[in-house]
Amino acid sequence: MKIHSPSLVELHAFLAVCRHGGFRRAAEELCVTQAAVSRAVQRLEEHLAGGRLFERLPSGVALTPRGVQLRKLTERHVLALEAAAETLGREAQPQRVRLSVIPTLGIQWLMPRLPAFNERHPEINVELRQFKHDEDFTRDDVDLWIEVKRPRRRWPDHIQTRYLLGEELVPVCTPRLSRGFRRPADLQAATLLHHTNFPDNWQRWFAKAGAPCTPRLAAGFDLTMHLIVAAKAGMGVAVVPGCLVERELLLGELVMPFDIDVSCGRGYFICSKRDTPDFAARDRFAQWLANQAGGDRG
């Protein structure tokens, strides 16, 4: 029998461009060059001999009527084949768990605990995958995500979430700086380091501490890791999730001038896709994460 269908490589390239509305992000998803995606789509157009599948626009691409028809006829079947291959592959290697985690949480909280998990579960291999700030949870190279709750944005419908930890914020600074603070209101005159994405954290803390004000913020940082390093360097006082400074507090590199925490209303969540096959290693690791976080809260 003569085979008329195009190759899966070409169909994967075509569908990735459909999902992302452009060749660059499709190439990033498929881990190939943009030129490779463009060539695959061109081969598909030539194979089908029916004209262009995309209209090139200044802002990206748009499907032609023929492209719309091809996507409708093929997408469900290609995704089903991918799911079948993923399921069978997991049966052959059921002990690999692929995790994407916010870097600061991974470095400050998860890494110190992973040796204990590896010792208890040597049969499970936890692989860390690239973290993406604009994550849309459609990647097929990740089993679990640990993500921060996004202000004013809902979790995607195809994702199930479970709160982990990190909602509580605490003030930290060097021991030397802390000597000048007698009451919470004294911090209002301090150099207040802050997270540029969450500039209201200090206002929340002062309100909880009984010293409401509109604080004068000093240097801002867009990564909590940088905020912690700046506080350790003595640049000022930072307010950060307590779970991220456990080691620094234990070693005395940082101290809490006041033992007052405040909820930021966000925190870190374990995320996974709803419609995925049962996967014992993933579920065991997710439960271990929750147990670790529960112990911290306790």
Give pLDDT tens digits for 7-29.
Answer: 889 999 999 999 999 999 999 98
Asked if residue 172 lies in contact with residue 245, where contact means CB atoms within 8 angstroms, the answer is yes
User: What average pLDDT does range 119-138 have in this prediction?
Assistant: 91
What's residue 92's pLDDT? 55
Q: Pick the residue with more confidence: 243 or 297?
A: 243
**Weakest mean pLDDT among 74-88, 96-110, 114-128, 271-285:** 74-88
Return the structure tokens found at 1.
């029998």
- CB burial class (10 A; 0-12, 13-18, 19+) of residue 153? exposed
pLDDT digits (tens, 9 = 90+) for 92-113: 555 899 999 999 999 999 999 9
Return the structure tokens found at 104.
């600061």
Asked if residue 184 lies in contact with residue 258, where contact means CB atoms within 8 angstroms, the answer is yes
Q: Pick the residue with more confidence: 297 or 176?
A: 176
Q: Please state, in angstroms and rounded to a whole number, the distance separating the CA atoms of residues 214 and 115.
A: 43
Average pLDDT over the chain reads 90
Domains of the chain in start order, with CATH, are 8-89 (1.10.10.10), 96-164+267-293 (3.40.190.10), 168-263 (3.40.190.10)
What's residue 206's pLDDT? 97
The distance in angstroms from the start CA to the end CA of the chain is: 66
What's residue 238's pLDDT? 97
What's residue 176's pLDDT? 96
Q: Please state, in angstroms and rounded to a whole number, the distance separating the CA atoms of residues 79 and 164.
A: 31
Confidence band (pLDDT; 50, 70, 90) for 91?
Answer: low
pLDDT digits (tens, 9 = 90+) for 133-169: 888 898 889 999 999 987 667 889 999 999 999 999 9
